[in-house]
Amino acid sequence: MPEETAQVLLRRRRLVDVTTLTPAVRRTAWQWLRRPLTIQTGLSALQADLIQRGFLLSVGLYRYCASLSAPALAGFGGALLDLLDAESGHDTHHTPLFRGFPESVPGNTETFYVNRVFARLLQEPDQPCVLCGDTKAVHPVSPCAHLVCRTCWDGSDFSACPLCLRRIDRKDPFLKPSFDEQQPAHVRSDRLRLLSPATDDSARETVEILLARRAPLSAADRADLLVLLDAADPSWLPDEIPVRETRALVIAHFLADDPELIDRTDTATDVLRLIYALMDADPGLRTPPARRKSLPRATRRLVLQRLDRLPAETLVEDLLRHERAWKQIAENLHPFEFATRFPVAALAFAVLRQTDLDLGTPAGRAVAGEAAQHPLIRVEDGRLVMSTFASRVEGAFAQGRPEQALDLLRERPGELVRRLVHLARVLPPEQHVTLVEALTTAVSDVAPVVITAALGQVRTPPGDLRLFFPRGGTARIWTAVDDREPLPSELATELSGVLTGEMLRRATDLPRWRRAFLDEELTRLAAPGSERSASSSLLRMTRGSAVPIPQDELLRLFLHWVEPAGRRVDLDLSVAVFDEEWAFVGLCDYTRLRFDQDALVHSGDLTSAPAPHGSTEFVDIDLRAVRRVDGRYVLPVVFSYNDVPFDQLARGFVGVMRQPNGLFDPAAVEERFDLSGPAKILMPFGVDLQTKELRWYDVNLGAAGYGHNIARYGGQLGLMAATLEEVHGSGDRVSLWEVCCWHAAARADEIAVRCADGSVVGYQREPSEELAAFARRVTARLEPDRRWDEDAANRADFVAVLAGDVTPRSGAEVYALHPRLLDHASVELIDAPHLLAVLAPHTRARATLRAG
């Protein structure tokens, strides 16, 4: 729908689809007479509302608004504000349990709890209050009917029943009016972001950006792509869609109109992804379809026809790689019904299902005849079997013949690079030269995301713990002791040189720049990788990235959820504090509303969230006060107390605000995560008070049973966060800074670097200096060639910064995590995945793709 397309463009690229958001209003003569005064007033009001949300109109968008009639401007402004409010979470009225939060939160949680229990268990109808003895102030509240004393419990401060903490009828007499929250008087200038008008090609450009990604999309990105495809047609599709999951989504969307698109599936696994997409399931094949939709007969024939044209050995291998899924799909495809027409497909399913050959039937004779043409397929006990590539590789490793495994992996460059560290550890020293030569040959055909992952593994020495991110519906991670032997330093250096050299070689094929401007703070951001399990969020950062925070800043966490009809959902926002050695220091949750007076303050536990308003919990974190009690690591966590998965919520999100003005300040929202998937525990980020960093974790922990809280999972949370900090804080993984340095060193002879202290230094490549040496010098931030003016970004063709507080020249390519007031109309805003996408093999044809 056009409205959904407008929402995607606004959220992803800060582009406003004025055509969709402007209502069709006829201007009358009276409106034209009043136009100068009315439009000016409306524009002023719109800009004031936008500023309170942290946005400004660009020059082009301001001129468009000034050209509208008053009713059209009112409709446009209302639609725009609605979209922005839905994005930040400002579209709902956030009311915590204690409406006077943080001032009115009780200092003694135990006393508050005891009073609640006494009143709930001992209070009887028509009896004096068990707490104060008042004989006239006890009345039931609706709908829970608990007997609440109006003297003991302040109805102007509570927003729920003070005994069971469940939401009650907003019209209940117990709830008394409280002081209305004052709107913030001003918004800090560094929080303002620019809104620009979308063009006719904006939707198509955004589709091309997503289709050019070299790593799997997150669930949110896939949803955005499907929205945009509704406004697209097959002519928008590029010749190549590198990510197979994305390709499956696109083919499924257009297959009914263009059946020949199925030829873009290269393997049987691609076909399986397509089938999953047609069944509205995950094309990443992590979770099976919730229910198997019956495919039309024409689609089944089309699928079997495509499978039949694949090489038989490769087809069988792919089917066995996803054995369970294909066995379920076979019940829908009926491959033996078309055995004589598609014998290769029937042969592959016969191997998969271990079907007994019946030469008395046409299908059996067709399968047997086809099997006779393939030497790797043989008959054992009346059934067909085959030795697969994967089994031969694993067999070589298991039998202690890594040289044979290396020879096999040469046939598949991507697999060789993925197994690089394993090969480097098991090959004897005399085979190290052979491994380097094999990598040098294979790496030219490998995706950049695979190369950066391998480079990080080669450079990372074994440590105390290892991280594992298994494929699954949520980003659940495991840790284990790392008892591996380190790679020989000389071999690790050679392998790193080959991988880095390949990325530099690819960058040299891209258009040249006169000058590049880089921000040293980009070392905090991890290089783009797979986003399959990433939560939907405002900032699209790779897991493990960090952003700086001032030491004396106040952070306000917020959690909002709406439960489905007929089911109570109790979510809890909690914070755990650990010291330098990851020893537990303290917590703030429903069992302790205040930690060290005002260091951590909880807004109160709400145990239900009925529609339409739901419930909101807050936690204020005073970073300086936490540091005073020897706290270093602060870990916010969301628990589903009564074990209801997040994906059953009608709506749910968690986020963080910096120095908010008022209870909920949309301009101060730093990040917001949607609660999704079958998870029940989410750890969105952690704060390191020593390095002054906020690092994005975005991971879930497994949970079962009832009563999930920090007291139960504190040790597990600390271990998980300690491992994440050790792995991502070591600096051995590839950072976005390094990717930008590859581009800059290979494409420009002059590079300006803004240091952490704000100074700007310059690096210049000498004619005799090798590219690898120049890139190493810039990446390691060695002695610069000169000092530079602070306005060096004004004269750069490429700018990569953490915050868009620079003024690049017109037409420059700019990456900025926080674009702020950078305008799409004057610069080309690119995103982090684009920086890797253009480094794909044979990337010259895609060098013009841009992101926003």
Is the backbone peptide bond immediately before 143 cis, with ω within 30 degrees of 0? yes
- Of the listed ranges 31-35, 586-590, 663-667, the least confidently predicted one is 31-35
Q: Which residues contact 492 (CB under 8 A, 6 or more apart)?
A: 424, 458, 459
Q: Within 10 Å of residue 845's Cβ, how many Cβ atoms?
A: 11
pLDDT in tens, 170-228: 899 999 887 555 555 577 777 889 999 999 899 999 999 999 888 888 888 888 999 99
Residue 475 DSSP SS3: coil
Q: What is the pLDDT of residue 522?
A: 95
What pLDDT digit, counting tens, does each position of 236-290 carry? 888 889 899 999 999 999 999 899 999 999 999 999 999 999 998 889 888 788 7
Q: Where are the alpha helices (DSSP H) in 460-521?
A: 489-508
Eight-class DSSP state of 290: S
Q: Mean per-residue pLDDT for 359-378?
A: 81
What are the structural domains, with CATH classification, of the chain? 2-94+186-197 (no CATH), 216-389 (no CATH), 391-507 (no CATH), 509-526+734-846 (no CATH), 546-727 (2.60.60.30)
DSSP string, 373-415: T-TTEEEETTEEEE--HHHHHHHHHHTT-HHHHHHHHTT-HHH
Residue 32 pLDDT exceeds 60: no
**Nearest-angstrom CA–CA distance, 601 and 107:** 9
User: 586 has which bridge partners?
Assistant: 577
Mean pLDDT within 636-642: 94
Alpha-carbon distance 371 to 373, whole Å?
Answer: 5
Q: Per-residue pLDDT tens for 536-584?
A: 677 778 888 998 888 778 999 999 999 999 999 999 999 999 999 999 9
What's the pLDDT score for residue 271?
Answer: 95
Question: Phi first, then psi: what are they for 154, rounded to 5°?
Answer: -80, 105
| Inter-residue contact 606 to 97 (CB < 8 Å) | yes
What is the DSSP secondary-structure string of 153-182? S-TTTBSB-TTT--B--TT-TTS---PPPP
pLDDT of 672 reads: 86
What is the mean pLDDT of the segment spanning 18-36?
A: 62
Retrieve residue 693's tokens: 């960093």
218 DSSP assignment: P
Strands laid side by side in the 600-602 sheet: 594-595, 600-602, 615-622, 554-562, 651-658, 669-674
pLDDT at position 184: 56
pLDDT band, very low/low/confident/very high, at 813 (cuts 50, 70, 90): very high
Q: What mean pLDDT is predicted for residues 602-622?
A: 95
Could you tell me the two tokens for 404? 């044979």
User: Distance between CA atoms of 197 and 6, rounded to whole angstroms?
Assistant: 11
Condensed to tens digits (0 to 9), the pLDDT of residues 713-765 reads: 888 888 888 888 887 877 788 999 999 999 999 999 899 999 988 899 999 99
What is the distance between the alpha carbons of residues 11 and 18, in angstroms, rounded to a whole number? 14
The tokens describing 50, both together, are: 């936008």
Q: Is 601 exposed, middle or buried (0-12, 13-18, 19+ CB in 10 A)?
A: buried
Kindly tell me if the per-residue pLDDT of 852 is higher than 60: no
pTM: 0.87
Residue 495, classed as helix, strand or coil, is helix
Element (H, E) at 751: strand 750-754
The residue with greater pLDDT, 708 or 496, is: 496
Residue 408 in tokens: 């096999």
676 close to 101: Cβ distance less than 8 angstroms: no
Of 214, 205, 199, 213, nearest to 232 by C-alpha is 205
- From residue 383, how far is each of 368, 377, 379, 656, 682 by CA, in Å? 10, 10, 5, 59, 48
Q: Can you give the pLDDT at residue 149?
A: 95
Among the residues of 581-632, which ranges form H helices? 623-628
Q: What is the pLDDT of residue 81?
A: 94
The per-residue pLDDT for range 91-101, each reduced to its tens digit, is 888 999 999 99
Q: What proportion of the chain, given as a percentage, has pLDDT over 70?
A: 94
Q: Per-residue pLDDT tens for 481-515?
A: 777 888 888 999 999 999 999 999 999 999 999 99
Task: Give the residue-averaged pLDDT of 386-410.
Answer: 90
**Position 319, amino acid:** L
How distant, in Å, are the alpha carbons of 275, 752, 783 from that of 762?
A: 53, 4, 10
The pLDDT score that the predictor gives to residue 304 is: 93
Which pair of tokens denotes residue 401?
Answer: 């013949």
How much is the average pLDDT of 66-89? 91
How many residues in the chain?
852
Average pLDDT, the chain: 88
pLDDT of 337 > 70? The answer is yes
pLDDT at 360 over 90: no
* The pLDDT of residue 181: 54
